[in-house]
Chain A
């Protein structure tokens, strides 16, 4: 898919005049759509270094702006405002204000890894997307996204028991995001699931949700890992 960089220009800066003469040449009509120049003075030279400290952002400095990431991106095909190449560019220049214009969609990266696969410079753009999404949340630019809530529930279960039990993850997720469990499509899905299901299997699944799977020798592992994450976060904020 071609990259429509025109979408990056603010609509109000595209000026079309009915009559325009430049250096004695009449450029009225189709040719006189001009972009009003702008000067960006608000940049943060430390921003690239900051993003490198977030998990996944380590290689952002390697980017040479070829655009392979955006070109291959699953989300770009859904929404042309989803532009990893541009966000990496802004990160490197420290143009946070520009980045904030897209703050509500960056978290939508589906981690399909097309970008990381194709990147000739090993930038790991998928990781950069995660790093940016985390930065946005930590700085309070965005609310905690549904995706982050899901990750937290997931990690809580694992740090506790070593494994997850999917139906309780789902249930907690719907609770924490204030969603009804009795949505039409979910009800339909359960109906279809049990249509042919042998009774023995139903009983087994029910048991599974009560006696949740557990890694027996999990012991201290969960606590050691939680401690590690805490230390890393502290070190990062120095």
Chain B
């Protein structure tokens, strides 16, 4: 079984804390092996790309170089869509543009950083779980059942778009789809969730302007929440800390600023899988979510 370098990224150190906690608990319980990426830096989030695109490429490449050159890993695993996206983008750009590769290597030498030479790939936590176990493999490990909790699986933008940076997707059966992703659906179904047909799986939560254009973000999030409810979902399962906190934040904002209340719960997919593995809600950080799902999960006899 492959050992990967775990890249949590800044969000998982902060507001995405419960995602980090549940990822670690889940990986541990599944006896998968990962090692923390040493002394990592920001992946060069969208904000940095806006200052200059090369900054993003460099910051991501620096992390990949640490994994490959200093730790000897060939795979970096990131649970955050933003980080995953940026690392993939750097991987793509540096394998297709000689000029960018030269610039990155030059800058690394100037800064006395490890030098990126390729030979390392990035996977999302979802992809890693599918590679290592898949729905059948993970099914054997479940001790409990999600008892048909009705779930809308929400993947957001950065996990599938743009297609250019994800050459391994859309390759037919077994691969992830960029138009109708299903890896999270597959895993949660194995855990006994009742997945709802949710057309906004890859719609945007407005995360890029979550504070700087808050009204737009609230509207976009309301689309997601209300449509999930219309589809019969009780829970929106998330796999990105920015989407997750955006949904939680604007659910409150919609209620307080616009008087529009929605009841759908927002839970990380790692937390749901963890519950099925018999881990306690506290260990999975479910108490730390802003969206309060404790009573609901009790009522569903999941906890």
A74-B213 contact given A55-B52, A155-B48, CB 8 Å threshold: no
A107 to B46, CA, bound (A): 14
* Contact B219 A78, beta carbon cutoff 8 Å: yes
The 8 Å CB contact of B52, one of A78, A148, A218, A229, is A229
The 8 Å CB contact of B287, one of A78, A165, A198, is A198
* Contact A163 B212, beta carbon cutoff 8 Å: no
- Determine how close the nearest CB of chain B comes to the CB of A216; give it in whole angstroms: 5
- Determine how close the nearest CB of chain A comes to the CB of B296; give it in whole angstroms: 13
- Which residue of A is nearest B253, CB measured? A185
A78-B256 contact given A122-B164, A154-B48, A155-B47, CB 8 Å threshold: no
**In the complex, what residues of B have CB within 8 A of residue A45's CB?**
none
The yes or no answer to A32 lying at the interface (CB within 8 A) is no
* Contact A111 B208, beta carbon cutoff 8 Å: yes
Interface pick from B35-43, B136-144, B181-189, B226-234: B35-43
* Contact B40 A111, beta carbon cutoff 8 Å: no
**In the complex, what residues of B have CB within 8 A of residue A109's CB?**
208
**In the complex, what residues of A have CB within 8 A of residue B211's CB?**
146, 150, 170, 173
Count residues on chain A whose CB falls below 8 Å from chain B CBs: 66
**In the complex, what residues of A have CB within 8 A of residue B3's CB?**
none
- Which residue of A is nearest B204, CB measured? A112
- Determine how close the nearest CB of chain A comes to the CB of B81; give it in whole angstroms: 12
* Contact A74 B287, beta carbon cutoff 8 Å: no
A51 to B250, CA, bound (A): 34
The yes or no answer to B288 lying at the interface (CB within 8 A) is yes
* Contact A117 B163, beta carbon cutoff 8 Å: yes
The yes or no answer to A152 lying at the interface (CB within 8 A) is yes
* Contact B157 A218, beta carbon cutoff 8 Å: no
* Contact B48 A184, beta carbon cutoff 8 Å: no
**Contact-residue bracket for chain B:** 35 or more
A197 to B292, CA, bound (A): 11
- Determine how close the nearest CB of chain A comes to the CB of B56; give it in whole angstroms: 10
Interface pick from A3-11, A60-68, A94-102, A187-195: A187-195
The yes or no answer to B95 lying at the interface (CB within 8 A) is no
- Determine how close the nearest CB of chain A comes to the CB of B114; give it in whole angstroms: 9
Contact indicator per residue, chain A 212-231, by CB within 8 Å of chain B (1) or not (0): 01011111110011001100
- Which residue of B is nearest A225, CB measured? B55
The yes or no answer to A81 lying at the interface (CB within 8 A) is no
The yes or no answer to B45 lying at the interface (CB within 8 A) is yes
- Determine how close the nearest CB of chain B comes to the CB of A41; give it in whole angstroms: 34
* Contact A188 B111, beta carbon cutoff 8 Å: no
A167-B14 contact given A78-B219, A151-B50, A158-B42, CB 8 Å threshold: yes
* Contact A112 B47, beta carbon cutoff 8 Å: no
The yes or no answer to B123 lying at the interface (CB within 8 A) is no
Contact indicator per residue, chain A 89-120, by CB within 8 Å of chain B (1) or not (0): 00000000000000000001111111011000
Residues of A within 8 A of B (CB): 55-56, 74-75, 78, 108-114, 116-117, 122, 124, 126-127, 130, 134, 145-152, 154-155, 158, 162-167, 170, 173, 177, 184-185, 188-189, 192-193, 195-198, 201, 205, 208, 213, 215-221, 224-225, 228-229, 232
Pick the 10 closest A-B CB pairs, nearest first. A112-B204, A146-B212, A154-B47, A185-B256, A162-B41, A196-B287, A113-B161, A166-B14, A116-B162, A224-B111
Chain A to chain B contacts (Cβ below 8 Å), 20 pairs: A78-B216, A78-B219, A110-B208, A116-B161, A117-B160, A117-B162, A117-B163, A130-B49, A146-B211, A147-B50, A147-B213, A158-B42, A185-B253, A185-B255, A188-B256, A208-B13, A213-B10, A220-B112, A221-B62, A224-B111
